[in-house]
Structure 1
Amino acid sequence: MNERLPGLIIAGVPKAGTSSIFDWLDDHPKTQGSVPKETCFFMDPDSHAFRPDFNFGLGLTHYPKAFAKTDDPGCLLFEATPAYIYSRTALAEIPRLESAPKCLFVLREPASQIRSVYHYFSNNWAYIPSEMSFADFLEASECGSHDFGGNELARHALDCADYLPWLQRWRDRLGCDRIKVCLFEDLKRDPLAFMSGIAAWCGIDPRFYDDYAFEASNESYNVVNRRLHSLNMAIRDRLPKGRAYEFARGVYRRFNTRPAVKDKTDDAFLRLREKFEVTYDPLEREFGLDLSAWRERG
């Protein structure tokens, strides 16, 4: 089973460019991404992302089904489930896989990450009520006054953005050689340098990206018609994936979504950013990061 298990898992964090990284890696001739991108195989049973039909509790022998067969022994298999960083099951089981996968964690300035989670789960999905403001969402998340449809990433958004304790647990289980922590801001600033570094760390040729066109994936959007979007969410996971599905999704996106409007830096956001500034120094020391881009956002 060793050759059918991934050598790389993009394990965090949500709304930090992991979909783009997955697509860019998947285009490399020496890699093969999972289907779907987020297998969610190691998500906890109490997570909103838990899949009753595909999970660790059914047995590890099911996991290789997410990876198509390949005759290339040097092909890097990988998947990207960014909520793994918070999963008890993932933390317990991924470090024990026979393939000894490396785990990549991409961090984003906490206030911006939380705001992106808010937009994503209120527009792309409907876990957060559309009439709930960002300030009200922060209050509900901090007080635990809303269930958000069982979505733990929304319910515990502030705890999830305090990255250091989560990363320390993973480093303790994986060791330093199998963990890499990067920044979303570096990805946005220089995707070529970012992906070349990831490729070199994974042992694949970084020169593939020298003339690569870096197109973003899975960006948040605003919904035009909420009722139509509710119907879309109710049926989209039941439809067979393929060219017809991609065509229909493209048509739907064209007519019922619009690009997300750039957020204004309001008082709620500024207070949130100030709240997390005390976490920067220990995070930098522990993982050798340069968080000056986070500080410069002021």
Structure 2
Amino acid sequence: MSRSTAAAQAEWLPDLFICGVPKAGTSAVHAWLCDHPDVVGARDKEACFFVDPDSHIYRPEANVRSDWEAYRQQFDLPGDRRPAAILDSTPAYIYQETALRHIPDLATAPRCIFILRDPAEQIRSLYGYYRNNWSYIPEAMSFEAYVAALHAGGETFGGNELARDALGNADYLRYLRRWRAALGEERMFVATFDTLRRDPRGFMQDLADWIGLERGFYDGYAFATENETYRPRSRALQRLNIAVRARLPKGRAYHALRKVYRKLNARPGGEEVAADTLATLREEFAPGYAALEREFGLDLSAWRGAVESSPS
């Protein structure tokens, strides 16, 4: 890339990314940031511009390998000034080689946000999301069967690598280390879903300080939830919904129709799962907690408490 091209791209390229992890409150944080008057977010929220060609969210017509103009059109920027932050929130970026190769070296020297969730709960949420909100995980597959399939390997889940690789992806430390090597610690904001859920106002005020936004915006802000996992009332209607929405552009009409549909055919919350399956998952990931805490300044006491309180 020439210097003139880099300078031109620096006028509109994102300087802030939510890079991870899926099902850890990233949709809510994206919405809360975009409500700030000094932030402009991607039109599609998950622009997916820096994903690998073998990802199920890869779009050949809007990828770094193809056309930067398609990416520029994601950001409706004011004509008179550059906002304090331009945001792309694609939580699968944490796992993408393409993102790791390109994002750290963008002309805007972007900073990246990583929100982590108790691995067992993240996998449970992924299961509910890709089984109920989508159809990558079969309707008849229980959570216990899903976890068994993950351990056995070989299941493709319709080409959805996030559903297929959920166990390895929940080993956050190895991904964060690679991003730290590419970005440096000062360009990473690493936090937990527990902190976000416990004190959303404090979380967003701390994040605003790190970004350089006016934190007072969140003093009286109403923190609405976003993109929650749900259970469909009618599976037949949900299958029709999946087929139709895949063909719709992700604009205002799409989001308005989604709200109407969820009022008609969605019940909040995921499926009940066996406690012993969650307990086994928690024990599987617990040995890595100490290094994650030490290297990224986290408090994972809530994760440890879940392990200790799980049935033996």
Q: Which residue of 1 aligns with 2:173?
A: 164
Aligned-partner Cα distance in 2 for 1:292–1:183: 11
Matched-pair contact (CA < 8 Å) for 2:120–2:278: yes
Aligned-partner Cα distance in 2 for 1:157–1:167: 16
For residue 12 of structure 1, report the CA deviation from its aligned partner: 0.2
For residue 248 of structure 1, report the CA deviation from its aligned partner: 2.4
For residue 69 of structure 1, report the CA deviation from its aligned partner: 2.4
Q: Which residue of 2 aligns with 1:185?
A: 194
Q: Which amino acid aligns with 2:245?
A: R
For residue 295 of structure 1, report the CA deviation from its aligned partner: 1.2
Percent identical among aligned pairs is 51
Q: 2:139 aligns with which of 110, 130, 134?
A: 130
For residues 155-203 of structure 1, the C-alpha deviation after alignment (integer angstroms, 9 at most, x for no partner) is 1100000000000000000011111111000000000110001111000
Matched-pair contact (CA < 8 Å) for 1:142–1:156: no
Aligned-partner Cα distance in 1 for 2:232–2:15: 37
Q: Which amino acid aligns with 1:197?
A: D
The 10-residue stretch of structure 1 (136-145 or 35-44) with the greater mean CA deviation from structure 2: 136-145
Q: Which structure 2 residues correspond to residues 1-298 of structure 1 after superposition, within 5 A?
A: 1-70=9-78, 71-261=80-270, 263=272, 266-297=275-306, 298=309
User: Over the residues paired in the alignment, what is the CA RMSD in angstroms?
Assistant: 1.4
For residues 241-274 of structure 1, the C-alpha deviation after alignment (integer angstroms, 9 at most, x for no partner) is 5554333222211111111257456111111111
Matched-pair contact (CA < 8 Å) for 2:117–2:194: yes
Q: 1:29 to 1:161 in 2, by over 3 A?
A: same
Q: Secondary structure at the match of 1:127?
A: coil
Q: Which amino acid aligns with 2:48?
A: C
Aligned-partner Cα distance in 1 for 2:103–2:90: 12
The 10-residue stretch of structure 1 (197-206 or 65-74) with the greater mean CA deviation from structure 2: 65-74
Aligned-partner Cα distance in 2 for 1:120–1:168: 27
Unpaired runs of 5+ in structure 1? none
Aligned-partner Cα distance in 2 for 1:34–1:146: 33
The 10-residue stretch of structure 1 (215-224 or 263-272) with the greater mean CA deviation from structure 2: 263-272
Q: Secondary structure at the match of 1:212?
A: coil
For residue 74 of structure 1, report the CA deviation from its aligned partner: 3.9
**How many pairs were matched up?**
298
For residues 12-71 of structure 1, the C-alpha deviation after alignment (integer angstroms, 9 at most, x for no partner) is 000000000000000001111111000000000000011122101104444222111222
The 10-residue stretch of structure 1 (134-143 or 185-194) with the greater mean CA deviation from structure 2: 134-143
Q: 1:50 to 1:242 in 2, by over 3 A?
A: closer
The 10-residue stretch of structure 1 (21-30 or 61-70) with the greater mean CA deviation from structure 2: 61-70
Aligned-partner Cα distance in 2 for 1:294–1:83: 22
Q: Secondary structure at the match of 1:58?
A: coil
Query: What TM-score, normalized to structure 2?
Result: 0.92
Q: 1:270 to 1:21 in 2, by over 3 A?
A: same
For residue 283 of structure 1, report the CA deviation from its aligned partner: 0.6
Q: Which residue of 1 aligns with 2:3?
A: none
The 10-residue stretch of structure 1 (236-245 or 204-213) with the greater mean CA deviation from structure 2: 236-245
Matched-pair contact (CA < 8 Å) for 1:105–1:180: yes
Q: 1:37 to 1:254 in 2, by over 3 A?
A: same
Q: 1:123 to 1:274 in 2, by over 3 A?
A: same
Matched-pair contact (CA < 8 Å) for 1:123–1:130: yes
Q: Which amino acid aligns with 1:225?
A: S
Aligned-partner Cα distance in 2 for 1:87–1:262: 29
